Amino acid sequence: MQGLLLAGRYRLAESIGSGGMGRVWRAHDEVLHRAVAIKELTAALYVSESDQPRLLARTRAEARAAARINHSAVVTVHDVLEHDGRPWIVMELVEGNSLADEVKEQGRIEPAEAARIGMWVLRALRAAHAAGVLHRDVKPGNVLLGQDGRVLLTDFGIAQIEGDSTITRTGEVVGSVDYLAPERVRGADPGPSSDLWALGATLYTAVEGRSPFRRTSPLSTMQAVVEEEAGELRYAGPLAPVIAALLNKDPDLRPNADQTEHMLAEAAEGRRPRSAEEWLPTQRVGSRAESFTDTPGTGATPYPGTGPTPYPGTGATPYTGTGAPSYASATGGTYQQHTPPVSLVGPGGAAPAPPKRRRFRSVVLVVVLAALVGGGTALGLQKWNQDRDQGGTPGASASQSSTPSSAPSTDPAANWRTYHDPWGFDISLPKGWVRTVYSDSGGIKQVDYTPDKGEHFVRIAIDPSPDFPTANAHQLDLEVQLQRLVDYRRVTLEANTYRDRPGSLWDYTWTAQAKDTPFPGPRRAIEETYTSRDGIEYAIYMSAPAADWATTSKQFKSVLQSWSPDSG
């Protein structure tokens, strides 16, 4: 393709980078006699015909989004042209590295320089937000460092433009997993503070040389974003409190753009921003010898819980299209931050105790994985989820083998057996159902039994330290997340008594999408959740196609009757 002439004026030279959706070329504008960068939408060559219009719309939206922003820190878009049935974006050519390249080559960036870079990215974001554009994929790979000292933000490929109709699927989460704000992992609509969170994560990567939340899998990375604090800042110096403030789990408690720029300006001069202290109410300022813990009785600001992100899935293979582009550049002593104790005393004179941090207890966490299309993520998720759909999870395998049955049995007396689960409970199910560990992390265990690789299945979730006061409160919190499902409808959700213990029964329907599962169509699920005398929360969940519900509902009653945990 080298030497190809596009639109009669742009001649391609060499490829200077590629990402999940596109390839970037150095090119020459033979009309204006200048060097330019051209992004080719390569993803359109490999996705299904039904996905191509959405990818094309997303590319055009990138050009429109960037064109709305007039700022020296935003890469200029010169033109959008059609060739070979695909749009190509002609952009300003920036000679230099991306921040990701720079970190990879140097190991990490000095705090003062990182603060300077952050100031320019922030100015680009402020200009974008003022124009009604959210970037939604701020990360080191999208920050360009020009040889002339300029810092530019690029790749508005998944930007959201105020007033435009959505070009993403219902419930879709876009962006690179490492840099998604917690509220976005939960499925909430992004706002300017979500871009600021991503800036904080980007600055963390710059000064520490590693992503703050990246783990061994997309799921564990998302769990870390929602549940865990960023790792210890060893090299951030005066930038440490600014990063910590931006990475607040609660978007309402993050500094805004003006406040952030003021703090970054101080850090760029090598001064620890005094104003940053007000954004860190749960920490203390002190010497290097102090530990990063709250002092009992200080009334630390409660951790803003984020709750689980459920999806009543089917053990389905997720969307396997390519992701949003990851821009390639145009050239191819322990330190712990603290702030003074802040007493938050309630009307009764007592300081409120911080609540326990909520963990993921997903009914089935497939929709988030299926929807993550940013930065080539969907391609990376394909193998991870295929392993699970073939009867296992990463690091786990089925504990027994059998030939899958096409139709679950309806007669417990004739064809059922008791399964003595190694996690400490007995349950009766039709013979031939296969046990698969779904997850065992964060203190929550989840195990599946299925006869047909997930079209019909039972899931047992065990949480020895529940985050909610009642099972009903937990299910109501989960239901908030399910509102994003297509055709979600509550059949019932009400508190009850199960095994002489307070519980809650939840029954609902939705329509599973072919893009997310090999079992599309109307589905139904039912879940009994209760807390045992030992304080352990158990969730007994069953899901099947809606057409099979007459059989499934009978099976669920038999499952509840047979349930016998060690803890009572």
Q: Which residues are catalytic?
A: 137
Q: Return the C-alpha torsion angle 109, 110, 111, 113, nearest 10.
A: -80
**Closest among 467, 531, 471, 189 to 303, alpha carbons compared:** 467
How do 133-134 and 160-161 pair as beta strands? antiparallel
- Residue 421 to residue 416: CA distance in whole angstroms: 15
Tokens of 354: 């911080």
Cβ distance 487 to 479 under 8 Å?
A: no
DSSP secondary structure code for residue 74 in this structure: B
- Residue 66 to residue 494: CA distance in whole angstroms: 48
31 burial class (0-12, 13-18, 19+ CB within 10 angstroms)? Answer: exposed
**Number of residues that make up the chain:** 568
Please name the residue that has the structure tokens 């990215």. 121
Q: One-letter amino acid identity for 475?
A: Q
Cβ distance 253 to 302 under 8 Å?
A: no
Tokens of 349: 């004179």
CA 95 to chain centre: 32
Cβ distance 518 to 524 under 8 Å?
A: no
Tokens of 377: 């993520």
- Residue 108 to residue 123: CA distance in whole angstroms: 23
Q: Return the C-alpha torsion angle 556, 557, 563, 568, nearest 10.
A: 120
- Residues whose CB falls within 8 Å of the CB of residue 425, separated by 6 or more in sequence, listed in order: 460, 462, 538, 563, 564, 565, 566
SS3 assignment for 459-511:
EEEEECCCCCCCHHHHHHHHHHHHCCCCCCEEEEEEEEEECCEEEEEEEEEEE
Tokens of 549: 């519900």
Which conformational region is residue 193 in: left (phi greater than 0), alpha (psi within -120 to 50 degrees), or beta? alpha
**Closest among 287, 283, 286 to 243, alpha carbons compared:** 283
Tokens of 461: 């979730």
CA 134 to chain centre: 17
